[in-house]
Chains A and B, each alone.
Chain A
Amino acid sequence: MPGVLSSRVQLRALVLGDLVAEGGEGRVFEVRKAEAPGADGGGLVYKQFRRPRPAPELTPTVSFLGALDGADPALAARVRASSAWPVAWVVGQEPGLALGALVPRAPGCFWLRHREGGPRLATLSYLASDPDRITVAYGTVVPAPGAAARVAVVYALARLLEVWQGDGGRPGLAVHGDLSAKNVLWSLDPVPAVYVLDCDGATVVEAGAGPASVPRRPTTPNWDDPALAPGAAPTASSDRYALGLAFLRVVGAAHFPLQARQRSGDKVSIDLELPRSWRRLPDMPGLWELCERSLSVVDVPGRPSPAEWAAALEELLSSMGCADLAGRVRQAQGDPRASQALEGGPQRPVVAATVPDVAVRPVLKHRAASTWRLVSAPGWAQATGGAGTLVTSGAAAGATSAAQGPAGPGFSGLGLAYLGPRQLLRRCGQAWGGTHRLAFRLLASPGRRADGFRRLVRALLLDAVAACVVLFLIGEMVSPLIGI
């Protein structure tokens, strides 16, 4: 069990497996075995830092969970369920220098598969993107914009941050500093949940100890806090900014550019597109005001706490008729207490003076039908393979637009003409299976049922036509034999 490891582990006590990932901050290896008392290394990975870091600075981070366990085990359970919080530092010859960290491996529900290839981390990039594009490109079905499941994912994140930024009597303040699409994983099965990575770069400021800022760490450009000077260390307020941004991008299923405009000092007015089903919900000025305050670069100390967010999202889920979903999220995090109860009774967000630099308003509209199409390359080389230089303006324009949204002429069709009969049959079989599978998966996905129904009807019509053709051909072949 991770919890029984001491806070420092010798590198030589680890039996490392394959390289799992390599990124800007270091390399991640499987841990086959950790030769520490009671630890088998199961479920852990070793994250090797690109540059060793002084171990004493890191100690509060590893001891944070233990301290939480002492103060309120349910809060520690929340952190364990929702983040890869480091369980130990790995040291070499020099005991004061951490070469890396042992962190829990993301549980299986936070991985997904594309139409092809191995498992991939289910990063927030999939939710902060046009769901139709994700479905067409990868065969992955994500909920429709504005869906309660999306709200519940942000709620799970708010509940985690609520522990990290807890006040009064808790063992300190944890600042992650790089909450971004690539560092936050999501899952809907069995319950909406998040799992935050790169927590070894987080800093824990013990209660009553100085300002809550962390040493400078690399941040993700489109998720960073525009209130920070270039290169400045992120603060707890930066995590609050990321939470507000995650709400807009995940619930709105959009990855809109924002920070550059905020840095230029302009006021930004964000039109959050949501489905018309939100008309049935009561007016929620408090929710939009919460978004505005979260994103403000003028009133950074006024950014709402994660507890405020959690309470507001509980209320939103409840008005969407999904109060039980909030309960299941809490249950899965190991802490069934409602945020409102935890913070001392029901509270409505206090509508403070509106921030001058951000305005958020919901725009309710019908989503246009999806126009994304997969395009197939083998056809192009051949189709455009005539003598001389070949790209005609029409071909290039069509292909570009086909790949970018509005469907151009059917280039994928051109590709089929150059396939052998076996390849053609296989491709047809794959397309048939894929079309039906996708239709059924969309039918099972709330908010995307209409699209699934359309696809299913189309697929069944095609099936019927194909069956008629096959029957006709069989009839043609058989009729002479039986003398008709």
Chain B
Amino acid sequence: MASEYVGTEERYAVFPFYLCLDVSQSMAGEPIAQVNAELPGIRAAVGQDPAVAEVVRFGIVTFSDVARTVLPLSDLALVEAMPTVEVEGRTSYAAAFDHLRRLIEVDYQAGRTGGERWYRPAVLFVSDGRPTDPEERWRASHRRLVDPSWRRHPNILAFGFGDAVSEVLAAVVENKPNRAFITTEGANPSRVVPELMAGLVQSIVSSSASAYTGSPQLVPPQLPNMAPIQVDELE
């Protein structure tokens, strides 16, 4: 019988989530105000529950002409207050993908140095518009982000509303089923963002529960005809 030592100081592998938020001009007004109103709810639901916070790491990236890290990947239990996001310029998907590609690698290396084990990160990509940069440019950046030869390539869930284009979102999630969601015709626009943020919380909390099993799943928000996707642990 093989023998394994278990130190009680040992921690569970963590499940990193990157919320990648479109803050282009089209988000001005109610949508951005709603995002800012809902962000503390993520901290309350995830960070204030010790059992969920233990296995979730959460970061926020915004993008417009450029991409910014407004919340570095953090243990939400130790985050004092959530940042607020502001509307900026156009919608550069390429900036978002390039930024995420660098950020995930840096965070992974930093986490590893600190003795963390990671499950494959998840990117929750939220956009209300079509990319304003040339198609070949954002597609090239996207290819680098999801490149299978890069071992840290994330699983992406994409959520679109407003002018978002379903074909583009499908491309963002590599045309994988049940990973891209777009508002249905006739949806009440003022309900879209709060429901989406509540859905993201639900997704993170459900995924964190599965992280304790050792074979976690990235659980999409509960919508008809959706199933969890298997997520593998990084070496």
* Contact stretch, chosen from B75-83, B153-161, B169-177, B182-190: B75-83
Q: How far is the CB of B178 from chain A (nearest CB, A)?
A: 21
Q: A125-B50, A266-B2 are in contact. Are A400 and B111 (CB under 8 A)?
A: yes
Q: Which of B209-231 contact A (CB under 8 A)?
A: 209-210, 212-214
Number of interface residues of B (CB under 8 A): 58
Chain B residues whose C-beta falls within 8 Å of the C-beta of A222 in the assembled complex: 12, 212-213
Please give, as numbers and ranges, the residues of chain B lying within 8 Å of A134 by CB-CB distance: 50
Closest to B39 in A: A377
Which residue of B2, B10, B77, B212 contacts A221 across the interface (Cβ within 8 Å)? B212
- Specify the chain B residue showing the minimal Cβ separation from A392: B106
Q: Is the CB of A138 within 8 A of B48?
A: yes
Chain A residue numbers with a CB within 8 Å of B87 are none
Q: Are B107 and A266 in contact (CB under 8 A)?
A: no
Mark A312-324 against chain B: 1 for CB-CB distance below 8 A, else 0: 0000000000000
Contacts of A271 in B (CB 8 A): 5-8
**A-side interface mostly:** mixed
Residues A389 and B74 in contact, CB atoms below 8 Å apart: no
Main secondary structure of the interface of B (DSSP, over half): mixed
| A255 at the B interface (CB under 8 A) | yes
Q: Mark B104-146, 1 if CB is under 8 A from A, else 0.
A: 0011011101101000000000000000000000000000000
In the complex, the answer to whether B69 meets A182 with C-beta atoms within 8 Å is no
How many residues of chain A have a CB within 8 Å of chain B?
Answer: 67
Asked whether A404 lies within 8 Å of B98 as measured between CB atoms, the reply is no
> Within the assembled complex, what's the spacing in Å between the Cα atoms of A404 and B78?
8
- Say yes or no for A273: interface residue by CB 8 A criterion: yes
In Å, the complex CA distance between A337 and B111 comes to 51
Minimal beta-carbon separation of A146 from chain B (angstroms):
11
**A150-181 contact mask (Cβ, 8 Å, vs B): 1 or 0:** 00000000000000000000000000000001
CA distance A181 to B12 in the complex (A): 15
Is A391 in contact with B72, judged by CB distance below 8 angstroms?
A: yes
Whether B212 lies near A273 (C-beta < 8 A) is: no
User: How many pairs of A and B residues are in contact by the CB < 8 Å rule?
Assistant: 193
Chain B's closest residue to A251 (CB) is B8
Max chain A Cβ within 10 angstroms of own Cβ: one of B51, B70, B83: B51
Whole-angstrom distance between the alpha carbons of A334 and B51 in the complex? 31
In the bound complex, do residue B72 and residue A117 qualify as a contact, i.e. CB atoms below 8 Å apart?
A: no
Give chain B interface residues in 5-55, CB to chain A under 8 Å: 5-12, 44, 47-51, 53-54
A221 near B210 (CB under 8 angstroms)? yes
Instruction: Tell me whether B114 and A405 are in contact (CB under 8 A).
Output: yes
Partner of A390, one of B51, B57, B68, B84: B68
Contacts of B83 in A (CB 8 A): 377-378, 380-381
Cα–Cα, bound, A134→B49 (Å): 11
| Residues of chain B within 8 A of A267, CB atoms compared | 1-4
Q: Are B8 and A248 in contact (CB under 8 A)?
A: yes
A residues less than 8 Å from B70 (CB atoms): 377, 380-381
Interface residues of B (CB under 8 A from A): 1-12, 44, 47-51, 53-54, 57, 66-75, 77-85, 95, 98-99, 102-103, 106-107, 109-111, 113-114, 116, 209-210, 212-214
**9 tightest Cβ-Cβ pairs between the two chains A and B:** A399-B72, A260-B214, A254-B8, A403-B74, A137-B77, A397-B110, A222-B212, A221-B213, A377-B83
Can you report 23 residue pairs joining A to B where beta carbons are below 8 Å apart?
Answer: A125-B49, A221-B209, A221-B212, A248-B8, A257-B214, A260-B214, A261-B6, A266-B4, A271-B6, A273-B7, A273-B8, A356-B1, A377-B81, A378-B83, A380-B71, A380-B83, A381-B83, A391-B99, A391-B106, A397-B113, A400-B107, A401-B113, A403-B57
If A248-B8, A380-B72, A380-B83 are given as contacts, then 16 extra A-B residue pairs at C-beta distance below 8 Å, sorted by A number, are A249-B8, A269-B6, A272-B8, A372-B78, A373-B78, A378-B83, A385-B68, A389-B99, A389-B102, A391-B68, A391-B69, A395-B72, A397-B110, A400-B73, A400-B114, A403-B73
